[in-house]
Amino acid sequence: FGGQSTTEPVSVAARFSSIYADAVPPKISFPVEEFARHIPVPVITDEGQYSVQYVLDGNETALDDITIPEGAHRLQIIATDESGNTSAETFEFTIDRTAPKIQVMSPLNGTKVSDLTVSYSVQDANIGGVSVTLPNGTTLQNATSVRIPGDDIGLGLHQITVLATDLAGNQAEQTILFD
């Protein structure tokens, strides 16, 4: 080429835009009730990729509703996005999958009564409420003993029903028939 350039001069036009670093950490949502039979699936919101770490009662774990035993728990959820922004939230809840236990002391099932004394006990660590439905259809809330004169009961077969519900929504029901 003899020291001669074979190309024409070239102009380059460039346009620059600003690139901003992601400074917003992921958002964590975990709407768990204080008393629950099951835990909800946590929701992590971020515009990019992220990783999540679950620490249940001080131990890192894969969050699996089935393996969480009954009882009080503390769950920390840590979410980190691809820019290194981290958010952490701690949640406390109690898993309760066991229904209350009802014991009716009076009347006994299948007995004859002249005066009706309804007496029962309910066992549950997290009891929410108890109702008793009497033979006349009246429902009493959280009464552990009720006395009804025999004249108010009438003749024939009757029933009372005790319904107990704990704070996690587990229920137990016992119906007693008497004459």
Q: Tokens standing for 111?
A: 């007995």
Under the banding of pLDDT at 50, 70 and 90, the label for residue 16 is low
Is residue 102 within 8 A of residue 120, CB to CB? The reply is yes
Residue 167 backbone dihedrals phi, psi, to 5 degrees: -65, -20
Q: For the segment 54-70, what is each residue's pLDDT rounded down to a tens digit?
A: 999 999 998 877 779 99
Decide if pLDDT at 6 tops 80.
no
Q: How far is Cα 135 from Cα 51, in angstroms, rounded to an integer?
A: 59
Decide if pLDDT at 1 tops 60.
no
Residue 15 backbone dihedrals phi, psi, to 5 degrees: -125, 125
Q: Tokens standing for 12?
A: 């380059």
Decide if pLDDT at 153 tops 80.
no
Please give the mean pLDDT across all residues of the chain: 88
